[in-house]
Amino acid sequence: MRTAPTILHLDMDAFFASVEQASKPSLRGKAVIVGGLGPRGVVATASYEARVFGVHSAMPMAQARRLAPNAAYLVPRFQLYRTISEQVMELLRALSPLVEPLSLDEAFVDLEAGGAAWDETSARLVGGRLRADIRRVTGLTGSVGLAASKMLAKIASEQAKPDGLVVIEPGTERALLGPMSVRTLPGVGPATGDHLRRAGITTVEEIAEAGEDELVRLLGKAHGHALHAMALARDERPVVAERETKSVSVEDTYDVDIHDRVRVGLEVQRLADRCVRRLRGAGLSGRTIVLKVRRYDFSTLTRSETLRGPTDDPAVVREAAGRLLESVDTTGGVRLLGVGVSGLADYTQEDLFAQAAGERGEEAEAVGEGTADDGGREQGEDVGERRWLPGHDVRHAEYGYGWVQGSGVGRVTVRFETPGSLPGRVRTFLVGDPLLVGVDSLPLVADGAPGAGSVDGVLG
C-alpha cells in the first residue's frame, strides 16, 4: 500500500435531490425526495433536510411519505443528472488518467498517476481545489476523502459529508478502523454482518483479532482472506479507469400486477424501443437480448437470446424480446418487466432482420455488472402522449418556464421559476392546455443570466 494519501474518493452530496434544489429556487433548504412515486416506488435520494425525518435511499416511498408528509416528491430526471455527472467526471479526468466512476455521483481518482499529488500537502490542495471547481461548474457540493487505499478513501468521504474534505493519514488507519462496525468494510452486507455477529464479531478490531483462519472457517477462503486483510487496513485494489459498460437495460415496476397477456406483450415491445433509444444514444449495439420478468410472487426470471451479430435495430430487439416472452409463464400476474442488451459493440450488423435465434439463456438473477437502468413508471396525468410528471420542466406560452408540482383530475399545477430566478408563483391549468408543453431541463449554471440557457427539444 502506498505511503501518501493520494487516492481520492468523491461522493456528490445527496446528488439527485441537490440537483432538484439547485434547479428549483422554491425547494432550496426544504425536504426533497426523489424516486418512484407509485405505490411500489422507492426513494432514490433524499435531501439532507428530508433525512432529518428518517428518510433514506432504498426506503419504500410509502414509508417516506409517512415520515415526511410535507416534503416535495419528484420523479428522477436522469438525462439532466447524466449531463451534470459528465461535467464532474471531466474535472476528475483533468487530474488523472485513472478515474474509476462507480455511479453518476461517485468516483475514485489516483492522483499519483496524473502527477497531481505526491504527498499529504499536495493531496489536500488538490481535494480543496476540486471541491471549489465542482461548485463553480455545477453549483453543487461534493465530499472528498483522501487516503492511501480505495477502502480508506471511501470511508474518509463518508466522514466528510456533507460538503467536506477528510484525509486519513498513513499510519493512523488501524486506530481509525478498530471501533467501526464490521459493515464499514467492503463486501460486508446484512447477511455477512449477521453471520459475524452470531460469532461474536461486531467491530473491525474484532475481525482483526479473530485471525485469518477463523474468518476463512466462517466465510470461506476468498472472503475470509480479503476481509482479514481489510481489517488490518490492507487494500491493494488499484483504481481502474472507466469501467466498461457490460449492458444497457430499462425496466418498469407496475403499481398493479399485469394479468393480461396481451398487455404484457405490449409493455415488452415498449421497453424494447426504450432500450434501443438508450443504446443508440450511447453509440452502441449489442448481440444478446435479455428479458427480465418479476412475477406476482416476487420470483424473478431472466431469459436471453444471442444474435449472430450486434444490432441497434428496434424491430430486431422487439422480435427477440417477444420470442423470449413466449417461454415465460405470466399466469398470476407480473409486477416488473425489463428488456436489456448486452454483448455490446460500437458497430452494427445490418442483416439481422427476423433472424432465427441464437442460443437461449437459462434463468439468472441479473443482467450483469455495469447495467444501466432507466428505472420505473411514475405517476402522472396522461393526455394522449403527454405525461405531467412531478418535477419535470415545462413552458407556457404566456408565463414562461416552470416545473410540474403535481397533476390529477384533469388539472396540472405548475410553479413558474428557473434555476436563476426567485421562487415563483404557482398556477393550475387543464392538462390539455395547448399553451403548455414539456421541455428539456434548463441548465443549472448558464452563461449570461442564470437558468437562461437555450432550451430545445419540446417533449409535449
Give the 3-state secondary structure of 324-336.
Answer: HHHCCCCCCCEEE
The residue ranking higher by pLDDT, 402 or 376, is: 402
- With respect to residue 73, please indicate whether it lies within any of the assigned structural domains: no
Is the C-alpha dihedral spanning 18, 242, 36, 442 positive or negative? positive
Per DSSP, the three-state class of 87 is: helix
| Residue 175 predicted with pLDDT over 70 | yes
Domains in the chain: how many in total?
A: 3
What value does the mean pLDDT take over residues 157-162? 95
Q: Say yes or no: 312 and 399 in one domain.
A: no
Q: Say yes or no: 325 and 217 in one domain.
A: no
Q: Say yes or no: 251 and 346 in one domain.
A: yes
- With respect to residue 311, please indicate whether it lies within any of the assigned structural domains: yes
Q: In the 8-state DSSP scheme, what is residue 10?
A: E
Tens of pLDDT, residues 59-118: 999 999 999 999 999 999 988 998 999 999 999 999 999 999 988 899 999 999 989 999
Beta-carbon contacts of residue 360 (< 8 Å; ≥ 6 apart): 303, 304, 305, 324, 327
Q: For residue 123, what is its C-alpha cell? A: 493531496
Q: For residue 168, what is its C-alpha cell? A: 486519513
Q: Confidence class of residue 347 from pLDDT cuts 50, 70 and 90?
A: low
| Residue 359 predicted with pLDDT over 50 | no
Verify cis geometry, omega within 30 degrees of 0, for the bond prior to 162: yes
Q: For residue 217, what is its C-alpha cell? A: 472457517
Q: Which of 390, 389, 391, 402 is nearest to 435 (CA)?
A: 402
Q: For residue 324, what is its C-alpha cell? A: 423470449
| Residue 164 predicted with pLDDT over 90 | yes
Per-residue burial over 179-207, b = 16 or more CB atoms within 10 Å of its CB, e = otherwise: eeebebbeebeeebbeebeeeebebbbbb
Q: For residue 246, what is its C-alpha cell? A: 457490460
Q: Say yes or no: 252 and 365 in one domain.
A: yes
Query: Which amino acid is it at 229?
Result: A
* Phi, psi for 310 (deg, rounded to 5): -70, 145
* Phi, psi for 291 (deg, rounded to 5): -115, 130
CATH number, domain containing residue 356? 3.30.1490.100
Find cell 485471525 and name the residue. 211
pLDDT at 382: 53
Q: Say yes or no: 270 and 353 in one domain.
A: yes
Q: Say yes or no: 331 and 409 in one domain.
A: no
Q: Say yes or no: 267 and 312 in one domain.
A: yes
Q: Which of 88, 126, 131 is nearest to 6 (CA)?
A: 126
Annotated catalytic residue 106: yes
Q: Say yes or no: 259 and 287 in one domain.
A: yes
| Residue 452 predicted with pLDDT over 60 | no
361 C-beta neighbours (distance < 10 Å), count? 16
Q: In what order do the strands lie in the sheet with 400-408?
A: 425-430, 411-416, 400-408, 393-396, 436-438
Determine which one of 20, 100, 106, 378 is catalytic.
106
- With respect to residue 120, please indicate whether it lies within any of the assigned structural domains: no
Going through 259-410 in order, the beta strands assigned E by DSSP cover 285-295, 300-311, 334-345, 371-373, 381-383, 386-388, 393-396, 400-408
Q: Are 342 and 317 in contact (CB under 8 A)?
A: no
Q: Say yes or no: 260 and 359 in one domain.
A: yes
Which run of H or E residues covers position 165? strand 165-167
Q: Say yes or no: 321 and 282 in one domain.
A: yes
**Please, what is the average pLDDT of the chain?**
85
- With respect to residue 343, please indicate whether it lies within any of the assigned structural domains: yes
* Phi, psi for 459 (deg, rounded to 5): -100, -20
Q: Are 415 and 402 in contact (CB under 8 A)?
A: yes
pLDDT at 328: 92
Find cell 404557482 and name the residue. 426
* Cα gap 439→424, rounded to integer Å: 18
Rounded to whole angstroms, what are the CA distances from 413 to 219, 393, 406, 429? 54, 12, 5, 6
Q: Confidence class of residue 404 from pLDDT cuts 50, 70 and 90?
A: very high
| Residue 311 predicted with pLDDT over 50 | yes
- With respect to residue 206, please indicate whether it lies within any of the assigned structural domains: yes
- With respect to residue 189, please indicate whether it lies within any of the assigned structural domains: yes
- With respect to residue 47, please indicate whether it lies within any of the assigned structural domains: no
Q: Say yes or no: 431 and 385 in one domain.
A: yes
Q: How far is CA 44 from the centre of its chain?
A: 8
* Cα gap 417→413, rounded to integer Å: 13
Beta-carbon contacts of residue 202 (< 8 Å; ≥ 6 apart): 181, 182, 196
* Phi, psi for 255 (deg, rounded to 5): -65, -35
Instruction: Give the domain extent around 427.
Output: 381-438
Tens of pLDDT, residues 72-84: 999 999 889 989 9
Q: Are 390 and 20 in contact (CB under 8 A)?
A: no
Q: Which of 266-270, 335-339, 376-380, 425-429 has the lowest mean pLDDT?
A: 376-380
* Cα gap 142→13, rounded to integer Å: 5
Q: For residue 362, what is its C-alpha cell? A: 437459462
- With respect to residue 304, please indicate whether it lies within any of the assigned structural domains: yes
* Cα gap 99→239, rounded to integer Å: 7
Q: In the 8-state DSSP scheme, what is residue 186?
A: T
Q: Say yes or no: 182 and 295 in one domain.
A: no
* Cα gap 15→143, rounded to integer Å: 11
* Cα gap 227→440, rounded to integer Å: 46
